[in-house]
Amino acid sequence: MAIIAARARPRLSSKRPSKWVTIGLFLVPVVAFYLLFVLFPVVQAAYYSLFKWNGLQPLTNFIGLQNYSTAIASDTFVTAVGNNVFIVVLSLTLQVPFSLFLALMLNRKFPGRAIFRLIFFLPYVLSEAVTGIVFTLLLQPGALIDSSFKDVGLGWLVQDWLGDTSVVMITLFVIISWKYFGFHMILLLAGLQGIPREIEEAAQIDGASRFQSFRFVTLPLLGPTLRVSVFLSMIGALQLFDMVWVMTGGGPLNASNTMAIAMFKAGLKNNQMGYGSALAVILFGFGLLVALAYQRFVLRRDVEGAVTAFNG
Amino acid sequence: MSAPTRLLQALHGGFGRFSLSSGIRYLVLIMVASVILVPIGYAVLGGFKSNNQLVGDPVSILPAPWVFSNYTDVVVGSNAPAFWREAANSLIIAAIAVTLTVGLASLAAFVFARMVFRGREAIYTLFVFGLLFPSAVAILPLYILVRQLGLSGNLLGVALPQAAFALPLTVIILRPFFRSIPAELEDAAVMDGCSPFGFFWRVLLPLARPALATVSVLAIVTTWNAFLLPLILLNGVDQWTLPLGVMNFAGEYTSDKARVLAFTVVAISPAIVFYIAAERQIVGGLTGGAVKG
């Protein structure tokens, strides 16, 4: 016994530190790298937002929350927030249901299914900037889209798609949907395929109509996936930048500004780093609101409480 | 069987693929597919047209006659230097960012998946948090930070933040994969004198090759398409990546639509080819491998 104990002890003690050494060597560089480039800048934004600063001189002109009151009083920024909200609302009411509709269509085996799936998801892998360029050319007055409308007798529908302040956001929403509905469709399709066919069949044998079995069986079981899709679509809509910048630059007359565009213009075009940072913090606030709502209502059940630690 | 019964059965899909409901399904799917494909096809074929054809007859599908100079100018002619320089920049940034993110995320995911210690979930939550807020928030301070690090106007200055932003998704996808590798394998490796790094390097990573392929493919797509970060962090034309190049090209040749289309098509063709080759990894990675058939 004594011999065994004597032999076991050094092995144990030589193993204990090695666990922490491994954790330290493996994890510390990654966490440091991540903190430096992702989380630290967010904290920096909060700090910069309290200064009137052009980004070059030393940070000396502390102005408290004045940048925030300027933002709230700025018509341009309020319009930008409204545009983000507009895209969020339309995404939830039109884009996600449309994606669900297509996912339901693809959720059974039929010849050609894989090809449709391949095509629908294709726009997701194209860059937003490039998508924006192609659509800008398509939407030029008299180009393909206008002529197609005229050729089928719908000429009266033709608009100045990107030049009319009251039309531009709708145009942008349609193109955003073109790019992203396939992504949501794929997510929802994955969710649908996780639901055993037998459950729906059982409901139909019990006399449920097709619609009833969808409404009362499939839809509740699809809940978690649907909420992930809603969440990602909201976060995406909040940080909308690339496509809008390429297509309109926020114009005409700031009618298609988004929060990210207002932030970019303030910080890098007008050298108002402090004010731009305040806009970034407001954008962060919106993101946090969405994330907390999601976590409060949903995530606790769906993702094994991964974010609950943040609730304190 | 009476005719009405037959009709009823057909309506309910009784005749398999030739039923009415599946006819409607194909009709809807083909309509949606053409909405996707028409703009892409317009760009591809438009690159083979002259500007007179594009403006004079915007709806005819095929070029008449076919014009090849737009494409050849981009690939080997007058616009080739810009195009290849931008492609090389995109490639360098993607290579650095993907190597870094997959390497670092594997290390972190290994610790999160296979070690038990206090504070593990709290640190893991930090990474989950990275997925939950709009990354545009960090952009302005990153511009300052990269300048302070002396990396502004350097491709590395774009690749590093890009790698960092790709970490959360990569860690979250890799962790369950690493967890699913049986503990017996680890015990056996340790018994044979393997260090933790030896196990990670020689046993875990080779076994996780499919998962690593998936996260690499996703990271490549993200970095290849990135726009805002390079737009802010790169100073000169010499450093621009393809998405920036396409935007600049469109601004430079506003009156030469056909040439812009050709440049755009050549710029997106790697992404399309890559997608068709790696669809399984992309779709599987985003859905946890749940989409079958």
Q: Rounded to a whole number, what is the distance in Å from the CA of A208 to chain B's nearest CA? A: 15
Of A27, A114, A287, the CB nearest to B134: A287
> Phi/psi of residue B253, each to 5°?
-110, 50
Of B137, B227, B279, the CB nearest to A242: B227
What residue segments make up the domains of chain A, in order of their start? 82-256
Is the pLDDT assigned to residue B223 strictly greater than 60?
Answer: yes
Give how far the C-alpha of residue B266 lies from the chain's centroid of Cα atoms, to the nearest Å.
16
Count CB-CB contacts under 10 A for residue B169: 21
- Of A183 and B292, the structure prediction assigns the larger pLDDT to A183
Alpha helices in A49-93 (DSSP H): 66-73, 75-90
pLDDT of residue B14: 42
Q: CA–CA separation, A27 vs B114, rounded Å? A: 12
Cross-chain residue pair A291–B260, CB shorter than 8 Å: no
pLDDT of residue B19: 67
Most confident of B57-71, B85-99, B222-236: B85-99
Q: A207-211, A227-231, B7-11, B128-132: which has the minimum mean pLDDT?
A: B7-11
Burial A167-193 (b: 16+ CB within 10 A, else e): ebbebbbebbbbbbbbbbbbbbbbbbb
Residue-wise pLDDT for B237-249, tens only, equals 899 999 999 999 9
Cross-chain residue pair B115–A23, CB shorter than 8 Å: yes
pLDDT of residue B158: 95
- Of B262 and A212, the structure prediction assigns the larger pLDDT to B262
Distances (CA, A) of B288 to A115, A119, A138: 21, 20, 36
Name the band, by pLDDT with cuts 50, 70 and 90, for residue B105: very high
Of B111, B132, B142, the CB nearest to A41: B142
In three-state secondary structure terms, B291 is coil
Is the pLDDT assigned to residue B95 strictly greater than 50?
Answer: yes
B residues 202..221 contacting A (CB < 8 A): 221
**Residues A119 and B215: beta-carbon distance below 8 Å:** no
> In this complex, is the C-beta atom of A288 within 8 Å of any C-beta atom belonging to chain B?
yes
Tell me the β-bridge partners of A51.
A62
pLDDT of residue B291: 59
Alpha helices in A153-264 (DSSP H): 168-193, 197-205, 210-213, 219-238, 242-247, 259-264
- Best of B22, B24, B31, B139 to disrupt the A interface (most A CBs within 10 Å) is B139
Q: CA–CA separation, A180 vs A243, rounded Å? A: 12
Q: Rounded to a whole number, what is the distance in Å from the CA of A166 to chain B's nearest CA? A: 24
Give how far the C-alpha of residue A146 lies from the chain's centroid of Cα atoms, to the nearest Å.
31
- Mean pLDDT over B76-86 rounds to 93
Residue-wise pLDDT for B171-221, tens only, equals 988 998 898 888 888 888 888 888 888 899 988 999 888 889 888 988 998
- Mean pLDDT over B78-83 rounds to 92
Q: What is the mean pLDDT of chain B?
A: 87
> In this complex, is the C-beta atom of B201 within 8 Å of any C-beta atom belonging to chain A?
no
Is the ipTM beyond the 0.90 threshold? Answer: no
Q: Rounded to a whole number, what is the distance in Å from the CA of B223 to chain A's nearest CA? A: 10
pLDDT of residue A301: 55
Superfamily holding A82-256: MetI-like (1.10.3720.10)
B residues 64..103 contacting A (CB < 8 A): none
- Best of A25, A108, A109, A134 to disrupt the B interface (most B CBs within 10 Å) is A134
Nearest chain A residue to B59 by CA: give it. A144
Q: CA–CA separation, B19 vs B14, rounded Å? A: 7
Q: CA–CA separation, B180 vs B114, rounded Å? A: 10
- Of B4 and A164, the structure prediction assigns the larger pLDDT to A164
**Looking at beta carbons, which residues of chain B come within 8 Å of A29?**
104, 107
> In this complex, is the C-beta atom of B290 within 8 Å of any C-beta atom belonging to chain A?
yes
Domains of chain B, earliest start first: 3-73 (no CATH), 82-287 (1.10.3720.10)
Closest CA to B146 of A224, A264, A220, A55: A55
Cross-chain residue pair B39–A190, CB shorter than 8 Å: no
- Best of B37, B42, B132 to disrupt the A interface (most A CBs within 10 Å) is B132
Burial A155-165 (b: 16+ CB within 10 A, else e): eeeebebbbee
> In this complex, is the C-beta atom of B61 within 8 Å of any C-beta atom belonging to chain A?
no
Q: What is the pLDDT along chain A (312 residues), one digit of tens a residue?
A: 444 444 444 444 444 457 888 888 999 999 999 999 999 999 999 999 999 999 888 888 999 899 999 999 999 999 999 999 999 999 999 999 999 999 999 988 889 999 999 999 999 999 999 999 999 999 988 888 888 888 888 888 888 999 999 999 999 999 999 999 999 999 999 889 888 888 888 888 888 888 888 888 888 888 888 888 898 899 999 999 999 999 999 989 999 999 999 999 999 999 999 999 999 999 999 998 988 888 776 655 555 434 333 332
- Mean pLDDT over B71-92 rounds to 93
Q: Rounded to a whole number, what is the distance in Å from the CA of B96 to chain A's nearest CA? A: 14
